[in-house]
Amino acid sequence: MITRLDAPLKVTGQAKYGADHHFPGMAYGYVVLSTIAHGEIEAMDFSAAREAPGVVGVYSPFDPLEMRTATSPLFGDTWVPLQDKEVTYYGQPIGFVVAETFEQARDAASLVNVAYRPLPAKTSLTEGLATAEDAPPARDGAPPTLEVLADGIESIDDAFAASPVVVEATYTTATQNHAAMEPHSAVAVWDDGELTVYSGNQASNLQAMELASALDLELTAVHCVNPFVGGAFGGKGRTSAPAFLAAAASRSLDRPVKAALTREQVFTATAGRAATVQTIKLGAERDGSLVALSHDSWCSTDAARSFVEPTSHGTSREWYATQNLAISQKIVPLNIPPTTFMRAPGEAPGSFALESAVDELAVALGMDPIELRIRNNSTAPPGKDLQWSSKHLDECFRIGAQRFGWAHRPPGTRTEGDWLVGMGVATAMFPALRFPATVGITLHADDTADVATSGADPGTGLLTVLSLVGAESLDIPAERITPRLGDSALPPGGLSGGSTATASAGTAIMIAAVKAIDELVALAADPGAPFEGHEVTYADGRVFADGRSMSFGELLRAVGRESLEVTGSSAPGEELTKHSFSSWGAQFCEVRVHRLTREARVSRMLGVFDSGRIINDKAARSQIMGGMIWGVSAALHEGLEIEANGRFANGDFASYLLPVNADIPEVDVHFVEYPDTLHNAVGARGLGEIGTVGMAAAVANAVYNATGTRVRHIPITIEDLLED
């Protein structure tokens, strides 16, 4: 059975990532970062750097590289470094030093002196709440404030006034960094006016578009390659500063240039997840039926207001059946690094708040938290007529409760030696999306086939999916499929993000396979072909007619062809007018808190998920487990601390806490598998991100069950659990 085609290359070190590419005469670039959060650069003294050994080029806003603002159809404008003297955050790329070796470039960069005209900086989300702004409309056009009211109800306040039981609380989540294992890097090479860039990113064709626009080139003159990506999670969707700088410097110097951020630089010279403040109010009947739900959210964003973390819109807008709903989303512009998509953007931090609040309502009602969630299960998003195409969340909870031993969860504290033990649960949900994608299929005369698209595989298993879906669609063994991706020269596969890759590329594969088979059948019956004038059929990689058969390779050889090439494209379409689409899950967690030290440790996790058809069980489990571990990390470990001057106090792997093996116990994953062919022909829905949704809340709810202490912020620390 095929599990991960890329595994042997990765575990043996043969997989070449962006920075692994080397070329004769290559120079090395080092990025210079700002040391203030807000102001203007008055001068940059590069004299000592220019005289340093090995230096071949220095660049700054005073001596800029030839570039302009980049743009792409998906992201719009993307910031390009060194184009002006304004500084809007601590750690902003403001200079670039190129030398014969990395060490020489790094050492020379340390000699650069920068004079600033400092301006007041806003770095605190809490202090900025008073001047928050309405968020811009969401990508689907939804306004920042939405309200759904039952007939006869004039306001959300009236709905709460009519609710027998009401709970209200404010929850906060911390700023995070993607912390991918592979730092952002790029190797740029020019040849006769054409550019090739090797760089880990989530969409080689989109990166090619951004580089072409930034460098004023025709798209055909830019070639981007990313066959292996060492983690991305949304942080490598847009072109990075090293890619822009390496490409432009390589053109200026007429030699290959490699640029790679150090681990510390990754924390500021790239984008991260926003911090959030969320106030949730729930009103319910005494039987647990929701009467009203309000969810007001604030998130940090950079000075350019480049991204919104849609916590209220990503959760409360759709998760539960309620007669009355009011949500709002505001932004707080700060002098901090840009924010962007990070695994389950909106849903991950939003679910911590919503699912903690639902747990608090269960306590107030004296009701089992699972029963409360099932009672308020939605058949469609509140205020919408489009029902879910497929939803088996109740089954996820029932199976999960049985497998996890939920019936043995005590109403109060349970102790095992010096440990207080508690269980928590939460709902997980992530929208089932598709992006436009094109896949090429090439049938060869040796009875093999290529399945190719420009899409990326940042550890998600897409390479193997191409092989498996391609084999199924062409009705041949997977061993005869050669999957190809990560190259902008291939058919455009779209962004590997939003948990869309399998559904998007898989549907395009099926369309391309039908075209390939149709062309084979027609070719077999052409004049002079082996089955001229006969009705031809196809199965098992063979064409059949007149009581005879031959493989497609034999047919191609018989007609003098080396290959047959087709492409297939898919995009979201009419189905969006008929149904709502989402993946679902139930998260279970057991936590132990030491009665003396108040150390909290997760001891068991179980996730039960309804994500449609599972194409590759091992890879799917790996994705879900990674997401669940991410949720534990958010709950107990991760959080960037921003000093008043805008500097990240813990912007490195030594002090930015991430879980290690000792922090992660048994992780159990179960799939409730119902193929969703209303969503796409493959029947698969996204699962790359849903694994992290709800897990932080499940941890916090388990901590409450163990200790009786309700912590409404993450990460939860020992100090939060110390008794007065």
Neighbour count for residue 283 (Cβ, 10 Å) = 24
Residue 122 in 3-state DSSP? coil
Question: 388, 319 in Cβ contact below 8 A?
Answer: no
* Angle of the 695-707 helix axis to the 347-365 helix axis, nearest 10: 30
Angle at the Cα of 571 from the Cα atoms of 567 and 577, rounded to 5 degrees: 150
Beta pairing, strands 481-484 & 537-539: unpaired
Identity of the residue numbered 506: G
Question: 293, 353 in Cβ contact below 8 A?
Answer: no
Catalytic residue among 641, 689, 719, 723: 689
Compute the distance between CA of residue 75 and CA of residue 308 in angstroms, rounded to an integer.
13
- What is the torsional sign of CA 116, 119, 120, 123? negative
Instruction: Write the DSSP symbol of residue 611.
Output: -
Question: 375, 288 in Cβ contact below 8 A?
Answer: yes
Compute the distance between CA of residue 36 and CA of residue 554 in angstroms, rounded to an integer.
68
Strands of the 537-539 sheet, one edge to the other: 537-539, 542-545, 548-551
Angle at the Cα of 591 from the Cα atoms of 587 and 593, rounded to 5 degrees: 160
73 cis-preceded (ω within 30 degrees of 0): no
Q: Which two tokens stand for residue 98?
A: 């190129």
The residues pairing with 117 across neighbouring beta strands, listed in sequence order, are 40
How far CA 689 is from CA of 297, 622, 623, 643, 707, in Å, comes to: 21, 12, 8, 30, 30
Compute the distance between CA of residue 221 and CA of residue 139 in angstroms, rounded to an integer.
31
Instruction: Write the DSSP symbol of residue 491.
Output: -
Angle at the Cα of 57 from the Cα atoms of 250 and 91, rounded to 5 degrees: 90
Question: 426, 351 in Cβ contact below 8 A?
Answer: yes
Residue 645, class by beta-carbon neighbours within 10 Å (0-12 exposed, 13-18 middle, 19+ buried)? middle
Compute the distance between CA of residue 8 and CA of residue 20 in angstroms, rounded to an integer.
17
Question: 238, 73 in Cβ contact below 8 A?
Answer: no
Cβ contacts of 712 within 8 Å, gap of 6 or more? 169, 170, 171, 172, 356, 700
Burial 36-51, CB ≥16 within 10 A → b, else e: bbbbebeebebeebee
- For the question of residue 689 being annotated catalytic, the response is yes
Phi/psi at 189 (nearest 5 deg)?
Answer: -135, 130
Instruction: Write the DSSP symbol of residue 138.
Output: P
Q: How far apart are the first and last CA of the chain?
A: 57
Angle at the Cα of 604 from the Cα atoms of 601 and 610, rounded to 5 degrees: 130
How far CA 330 is from CA of 88, 237, 451, 500, 534, in Å, comes to: 20, 24, 44, 27, 67
Instruction: Write the DSSP symbol of residue 550.
Output: E
Neighbour count for residue 716 (Cβ, 10 Å) = 22
Q: Which two tokens stand for residue 508?
A: 């395009």
Strands of the 600-610 sheet, one edge to the other: 414-416, 419-431, 582-594, 600-610, 666-671
How far CA 52 is from CA of 26, 27, 56, 112, 259, in Å, comes to: 18, 15, 10, 11, 18
Whose CA is closest to 170, among 217, 126, 109?
Answer: 126
Instruction: List the catalytic residues.
Output: 689
